[in-house]
Chains A and B, each alone.
Chain A
Amino acid sequence: MLCQNCNQREANVHITKIINGVKQELHLCEECARQQNEFNINIINPFSFDSPMSFQNILEGFFEMMNYANKIPEPVTCPVCHQSFDDFKRTGKMGCASCYRTFNNEITPIIKRVHGNIQHTGKVPKRTGGILKIKRDIERLKEELRIAVMNEEYEKAAKLRDQIKELESKLDK
């Protein structure tokens, strides 16, 4: 086998990476391997496991299986960063946080495959968590208000209305 880098000398250094169960192989001659290792692979690069290449390889498999090309009407782009799902297929990267909403239907099965799960259970940012909680509280109070009005409990309704106003003013801050 010839070296994949110079295509001249016999490959006698074989590098195998297994990422997420996906095997990547690299066959090099000693000279090219030595050049590579001087600056690249001799460092255990703690970051290289999120290299887009490996993820893209996995993605390719998904797309083949799911036949995405037929499913997605092409011109859909993210309203915030204008990235299309095609761009994601090419790069393996989302353009911005909104892409997760725009391409929710397409990305959910991919995330499910990568992580075996689609529901976050870990840390919640305090700030966002606070806002979420207020939003949920407002929804709950509005429901109570609707019921109170229906039952003609106007005193209770007035109280609930004030509570909702107070929470909404917190959101506006």
Chain B
Amino acid sequence: MFFKNNNNDIVLTSRVRLARNIDGIPFPQKLSEKEANKVIDQVADSILNSNSAIAHEFRLIRLKELRPLERISMVEKHLISRDLINEYQKGAVILNRDENVSIMINEEDHIRLQVIYPGFKIKDAYDFASKLDDLIEEKIQYAYDSKFGYLTSCPTNVGTGIRASVMLHLPALTMTGNINNIFNTVVQVGMTIRGIYGEGSNAMGNIYQISNQVTLGLTEEEIINNLIAVTKKIIDQELKTREMLFEKKSVEIEDDIYRSLGILKYSRILSTQECLELLSKVRLGIEMGIIKDIDVKKLNDLLTNVQPATLQLIEGRELDVKERDIIRAKIVRETLR
């Protein structure tokens, strides 16, 4: 069998988010624009003017200073949330140079600190997030209660305020419908799994996110270890299912993978949905060692670059749906050439 058994292939990214609030200041939705700006200044000061060696890597972006497309593109890149855009007059984000750290200011909470690492590196992501958390705390007094822990706008986040998640590529489990069992199991252990589009068996691009749901009563380490354990089980299931599928239908699967690559390489019109579905098949081909001459990094970049707003930014102008489908096909062709 020529399966590569590399967890990093199935796990696209690992992400940790910490929710924090400043003591003595009402939560963002209660703040006027002026008060919200003070929060932005305070949080920015804690990072940008800290004496930490990494301070110079960060920059502050006030959302009201961006064009609408730029704001949406940041959502597509997972740097900020849609909720932050909805209140963009009050919102800001601090990004590092690599854009794997984003600190959202005045989203649902004053501070939403997020670290994203490629691959299966959830512990590393937490360690870095926790260090940044300490750095902010040098200048900011957090809202904290000895019983409820870090206090957050929504009670679903109190305690550790942590949301740890991994993004997984699960085409075989999706194809066989076994993903539905995983949906049920994951919920029972205090986590959630979400597809993107349609029901479990029909998630667009076969990409799912698993994250902890419980934030109070467990330590950060316990939460992360639980997520790692569950993720490993799912990866295991996915690999077994791939092997089983391939044993039964190796030619059909190979055919499907190469056809998908052909469409991506030569088509002139591609909708987001079709594009993501084909990219999933090509990704599977790479992960199974069938396609060897395409770097999976290219696919990761495409995942963001074919999204509507990012695509328009790349093209440098606003496009309607039909134009977007044409430009999308062009971007994919040029990337895979």
Which residue numbers of A lie inside 8 Å of B, CB to CB?
A: 13-21, 33-34, 37-52, 55, 80-81, 83, 91-97, 100-101, 107, 110-111, 114-128, 132
Contacts and interface: CB of A to CB of B under 8 A. Distances in A.
25 contacts: A13-B198, A19-B194, A34-B271, A39-B72, A42-B273, A43-B307, A46-B209, A50-B154, A50-B156, A50-B163, A52-B154, A81-B27, A93-B29, A95-B26, A97-B145, A115-B214, A116-B214, A117-B159, A120-B147, A120-B216, A120-B217, A121-B218, A122-B162, A123-B219, A132-B146
Interface of B: 15, 17, 21, 23-27, 29-30, 72, 75-76, 78, 81-83, 107-108, 114, 130, 133-134, 137, 141-160, 162-163, 165, 167, 183, 187, 190, 192, 194, 196-200, 204-205, 207-209, 211, 213-220, 223, 271-273, 276, 307-309, 321, 324
Contacts of B150: 120, 123, 125
Nearest to A59: B155
A44 B50 CA distance: 33
Contacts of A128: 23, 141-142, 144
Given A15-B197, A47-B81, A95-B27, A123 B155 contact: no
Summarize B's interface: helix, strand, loop or mixed. mixed
B108 A93 contact: yes
Summarize A's interface: helix, strand, loop or mixed. mixed
Given A43-B307, A128-B141, A123 B160 contact: yes
A52 B29 CA distance: 13
A127 B141 contact: yes
B197 A49 contact: no
Given A46-B81, A49-B211, A116-B217, 19 more contacts: A13-B198, A19-B192, A19-B213, A20-B192, A34-B271, A37-B197, A41-B196, A42-B276, A45-B81, A46-B209, A49-B192, A93-B154, A96-B26, A97-B24, A97-B151, A115-B158, A115-B159, A116-B190, A120-B159
